[in-house]
Structure formats: C-alpha cells, structure tokens
Amino acid sequence: MSKEVQNYKKDELGISYDPKICTHSANCVNKLPEIFNIENKPWVNLNNATKEKLALAVKNCPSGSLKLINENTKAEHNKMVEIKLSSNGPLLVNGNFRLVNHDGKILEAKNKVALCRCGASDNKPFCDGTHNKIDFKN
C-alpha cells in the first residue's frame, strides 16, 4: 500500500487516508467492513457509505489518519488539548495543536494524532502499530 495520502470520492462523499500516521487499530475495518476492507483493492468502497458512516469512521479513528474530504467544520480554537495514555499503546492527542520538531519544522497541525509511546515505531514520533508486534505493556 502506498505511503501517500489516499483520497476516495463518490458523488458528495469523500474520505482521505494518511497511512503515515495510521496506528492500524483496525477500528474502521472492524466497525464498517462494508466500507473498509483491506482484502479489496481499493480497500475503501464508498458504494455502501453514507455521510453518517464516514463521520463515524473519522470519529473512531484514534490517529486522525481518516478525514472527511471537504469537511466544513472548523477546529475549536479554545478547546483544551487532551492527551490520553492508551492501554499498552500510543499517546492519543485530541484538540487543536501543532507538533513541531527540534528544528522548528511543523510536523502536524491538526486536531487528532497518535504518538508512539513504545519507541519502536518506524514513523516516529507517530505510532505505526508496532507496539502490538513487540507486545508493549505499559
């Protein structure tokens, strides 16, 4: 699968997937298999999708790798940022934030991301699901 952002559109429906920040929690596949199926090519099928189902997929995506295309909602600038320690997994960051590296380069400016806590991700500082492979406990 490509590491570039993938966009899927059908009529007024649209969703994008950023594999570089996906934690592979499989929430989308497990909760909406009629839309998300990794056995199919393409793995996203919008024929059975509705705006409500796509919004649910985005809401349940812990890493923020799924986004609605042409989403007209604005981030709440005064919303407090929440950082949640997931059980044996990444730091889940929710709220309006900017992630900046040591050189001042902006890595992310959004409202949801999963950050590596186990130290084994190949996409640091983002979680790539490696914690499951190494049986990270914490």
| Residue spans per domain, the chain | 6-68, 82-133
Q: How high is the pLDDT of residue 110?
A: 78
In terms of Cα–Cα distance, which of 119, 118, 125, 120 is closest to 102?
A: 125
Task: Write down the pTM of the prediction.
Answer: 0.68
What is the rounded CA–CA span in Å between residue 80 and residue 75? 11
Q: How high is the pLDDT of residue 3?
A: 79
Q: How high is the pLDDT of residue 42?
A: 94
Residues 45-66 have pLDDT tens digits of: 999 999 999 999 999 999 989 9
> Are 127 and 119 in contact, with CB atoms under 8 Å apart?
no
Pairing of the two strands 13-17 and 82-85? unpaired
Torsion angle of the four alpha carbons 76, 77, 78, 80, in this order, in degrees rounded to the nearest 10 = 80
State the greatest distance between any 2 C-alpha atoms of the chain, in Å, as a whole number: 44
Q: How high is the pLDDT of residue 44?
A: 97
What does pLDDT average to in each consecutive run of 10 residues of the chain (138 residues)?
84 92 94 96 95 94 90 51 93 88 84 93 94 94
In terms of Cα–Cα distance, which of 123, 120, 112 is closest to 138?
A: 120
- CATH top class, domain 82-133: alpha beta
Q: Identify the bridge partners of residue 112 per DSSP, sorted by sequence position.
A: 94
CATH number of 6-68: 3.30.70.20
Residue 51 per-residue DSSP state: H
Tokens of 67: 């986004």
Q: How high is the pLDDT of residue 77?
A: 46
Q: How high is the pLDDT of residue 73?
A: 44
Residue 57 per-residue DSSP state: H
